[in-house]
């Protein structure tokens, strides 16, 4: 049994490997990858694994981009800190959704579900897992068919001393991570400290409005005046009514171009 683990956080990857070993799996049968591109290359050049344990936000983007580019036919157990991807996860091959931080018992239960489904679907007459009634299956199927529009944040809360301020996301020109703190910078150039990492905030903001420039910055397309090519496959992004210029990383430039033109 071979398991592909997609996880960009080293400590989280170690924990998954430790849990898998504790449940009796051989570490030699575990492959850990940290990016969408590396996972794509691996899947294209190796047999399909028996199971994928998949984080959602990887080093170079959202893992659903991988599943759109490559048809995965094995079950997937998602391991993530975000609950807003629940429906997209189960529209594909998702069989379980573990919210971080999850315990060994939760991991073991998800793996047991995989083993049960594997046995049942290998049997002549598959049976439903205990507690999953036909009526519930119908309800879940209907919900998945109908889909769900993601709800993105319309405002951000900013704590300054003992006060709480609200900043509308439409007024944020860009977000910038600086020495472990993420700042929302508005059109006037004021910097508002936020709670959470840039990756966490990116998942909560409308991807049609906010695009990734590099590892430390997101930009609001409404504030982009023009984009110019720069050295080493990077782009200079000039903001409207501002002297501020931002820059893409070479690795992010292709994705930023697609986002800007989309």
Do 77 and 109 form a contact (C-beta atoms < 8 A)?
no
| Structural domain 155-261, CATH architecture | Beta Barrel (2.40)
Q: pLDDT tens-digit profile of 65-87?
A: 888 888 888 999 999 887 666 66
3-146 is a CATH 1.20.140.10 domain: no
Rounded CA gap, 82 and 191, in Å? Answer: 26
The predicted structure's pLDDT at residue 121: 66
Share of the chain above pLDDT 90, in %: 56
Cβ-based neighbours of 213, under 8 Å, separated by 6 or more: 174, 219, 237, 246, 247, 248, 249, 252, 256
The predicted structure's pLDDT at residue 213: 96
The predicted structure's pLDDT at residue 165: 82
Asked if pLDDT for residue 217 goes beyond 50, the answer is yes
Report which of residues 1 and 174 the model is more confident about.
Answer: 174
Q: Kindly list the domain boundaries of the chain, sorted by start residue.
A: 3-146, 155-261
Do 158 and 166 form a contact (C-beta atoms < 8 A)?
yes
In three-state form (DSSP H/G/I as H, E/B as E, the rest C), the secondary structure along 120-153 is: HHHCCCCCCCCCCCHHHHHHHHHHHHHCCCCCCC
Report which of residues 72 and 134 the model is more confident about.
Answer: 72
The predicted structure's pLDDT at residue 62: 86
Asked if pLDDT for residue 193 goes beyond 70, the answer is yes
Tell the burial category of 174 from Cβ atoms under 10 Å away from its Cβ (0-12, 13-18, 19+).
Answer: buried
pTM: 0.48
Mean pLDDT of 243-251: 93
């Amino acid at each position: 049994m071979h398991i592909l683990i997609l996880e960009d956080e080293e400590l989280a990857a170690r924990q998954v490997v430790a849990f898998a070993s504790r449940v009796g799996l051989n570490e030699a049968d575990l492959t850990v990858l940290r990016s969408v591109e590396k996972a794509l290359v691996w899947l294209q050049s190796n047999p399909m694994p028996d199971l994928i344990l998949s984080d959602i936000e990887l080093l170079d983007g959202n893992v659903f981009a991988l599943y759109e580019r490559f048809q995965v036919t094995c079950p997937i157990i998602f391991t993530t800190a975000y609950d807003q991807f629940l429906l997209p996860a189960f529209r594909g091959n998702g069989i379980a959704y573990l919210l971080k931080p999850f315990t060994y018992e939760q991991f073991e239960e998800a793996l047991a579900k995989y083993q049960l489904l594997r046995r049942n679907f290998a049997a002549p007459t598959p049976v439903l897992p205990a507690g999953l009634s036909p009526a519930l299956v119908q309800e879940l199927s209907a919900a998945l068919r109908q889909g769900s529009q993601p709800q993105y944040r319309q405002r951000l809360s900013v704590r300054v001393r003992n006060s709480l301020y609200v900043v509308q996301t439409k007024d944020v020109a860009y977000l910038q991570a600086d020495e472990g703190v993420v700042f929302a910078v508005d059109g006037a150039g004021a910097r508002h400290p936020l709670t959470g990492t840039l990756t966490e905030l990116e998942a909560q903001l409308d991807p049609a409005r906010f695009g990734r420039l590099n590892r430390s910055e997101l930009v609001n397309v409404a504030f982009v005046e023009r984009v110019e090519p720069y050295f080493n496959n990077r782009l200079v992004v000039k903001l409207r009514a501002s002297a501020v210029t931002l820059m893409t990383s070479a690795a992010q430039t292709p994705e930023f171009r697609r986002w800007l033109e989309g």
